[in-house]
């Protein structure tokens, strides 16, 4: 009993796990105020400026910016001065091939044959790529929503997933990998499936704020300072998956994957 009591006291003395991520979603309230999704990119520019002022560590823009829209110039300018990650996806039915800058490919060991692969896709516009800290892919295999890729293949070269780039930003380190085997950081490694994926084990506990709150600057500054802030969507067009963890929206799945991978690599 004495040993058990000492163990309890020791555990209570340990610092609480500090989540390095915060999510800000365009929700129903945001759509009611700003219009139906997709919104003008001037609002994303305003959001990036607000996050710079709050001293956020970085931004993950979980939206597709592959086609021009109003506000692109403002967004590109706002991305300066804060590390910003953009998302991409493979779509072999796209009418034309789009270029991804060489700096966004990832050298890896092992074979690419089992990766999600393609030669065309929804790739961020060159003007936004120029200002981006990274470009990550967000594809998944049909019927396997809890299996999240760490790497994919675009135009014959390995590319990181958006989940991986988000975690790398949080830990200040770029991982190396042997495809189909493992993901390696300096202190930890994670076994991967032969498809270079991992399985989400639990739901995210990440705090989620409304995009309106960010624009209104009503989110407490200490909730954003030094955090990796994920801007996503949970409005009327959200796609929901039935999973072993219960129903999860597509962006909630992403949050769960990010947190799950981070926790495994931090233990």
pTM: 0.92
In a domain, 240, yes or no: yes
* Per-residue pLDDT at 17: 64
* Per-residue pLDDT at 18: 87
In a domain, 193, yes or no: yes
* Per-residue pLDDT at 3: 44
In a domain, 221, yes or no: yes
In a domain, 13, yes or no: no
Percentage of the chain beyond pLDDT 70 is 94
Split at pLDDT 50, 70, 90, the class of 2 is very low
pLDDT at position 248 over 70: yes
* Per-residue pLDDT at 256: 97
Lowest mean pLDDT among 59-63, 122-126, 242-246: 242-246
Structure tokens at 19: 């989540």
Contact 203, 244 (CB under 8 A): no
**The total number of structural domains that make up the chain:** 1
In a domain, 12, yes or no: no
- Residue span of the structural domain in which 100 resides: 19-266
pLDDT in tens, 72-97: 999 999 999 999 999 999 999 999 99
Percentage of the chain beyond pLDDT 90 is 90
In a domain, 6, yes or no: no
- Average of pLDDT values for 200-204? 95
d(CA 146, CA 85): 22
CB atoms within 10 A of CB 152: 27
* Per-residue pLDDT at 119: 96
pLDDT in tens, 203-242: 999 999 999 999 999 999 999 999 999 999 999 889 999 9
In a domain, 70, yes or no: yes
Which residues neighbour 181 within 8 Å (Cβ) at sequence distance 6 or greater?
A: 110, 191, 192
CB atoms within 10 A of CB 154: 25
Q: Name the residue among 20, 5, 16, 2 with its Cα closest to residue 170.
A: 20
In a domain, 2, yes or no: no
* Per-residue pLDDT at 8: 41
pLDDT in tens, 4-60: 443 343 333 334 468 999 999 999 999 999 999 999 999 999 999 999 999 999 999
* Per-residue pLDDT at 217: 95
């Amino acid at each position: 009993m004495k040993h058990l009591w000492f163990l309890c006291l020791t555990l209570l003395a340990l610092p609480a796990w500090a989540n390095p991520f915060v999510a800000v979603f365009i929700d129903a309230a945001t759509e009611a105020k700003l219009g139906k999704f997709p919104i003008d990119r001037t609002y994303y520019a305003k959001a990036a400026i607000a996050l710079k002022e709050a001293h956020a560590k970085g931004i993950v823009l979980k939206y597709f910016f592959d086609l021009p829209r109003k506000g692109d110039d403002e967004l590109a300018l706002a991305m300066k001065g804060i590390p910003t990650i953009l998302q991409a996806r493979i779509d072999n039915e796209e009418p034309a091939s789009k270029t991804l800058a060489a700096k966004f490919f990832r050298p890896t060991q092992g074979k690419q044959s089992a990766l999600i692969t393609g030669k065309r896709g929804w790739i961020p516009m060159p003007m936004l790529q120029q200002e981006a800290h990274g470009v990550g892919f967000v594809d998944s295999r049909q019927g396997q929503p809890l299996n999240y890729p760490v790497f994919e293949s675009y135009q014959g070269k390995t590319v990181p997933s958006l989940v991986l780039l988000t975690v790398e930003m949080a830990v200040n380190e770029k991982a190396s990998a042997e495809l189909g085997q493992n993901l390696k950081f300096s202190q930890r490694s994670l076994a991967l499936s032969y498809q270079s994926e991992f399985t989400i084990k639990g739901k995210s506990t990440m705090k989620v704020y409304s995009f309106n709150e960010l624009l209104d600057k009503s989110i407490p500054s200490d909730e954003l300072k030094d955090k990796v802030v994920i801007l996503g969507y949970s409005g009327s067009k959200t796609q929901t998956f039935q999973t072993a963890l219960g129903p999860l929206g597509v962006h909630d799945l992403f949050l769960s994957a990010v947190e799950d991978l981070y926790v495994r690599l931090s233990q």
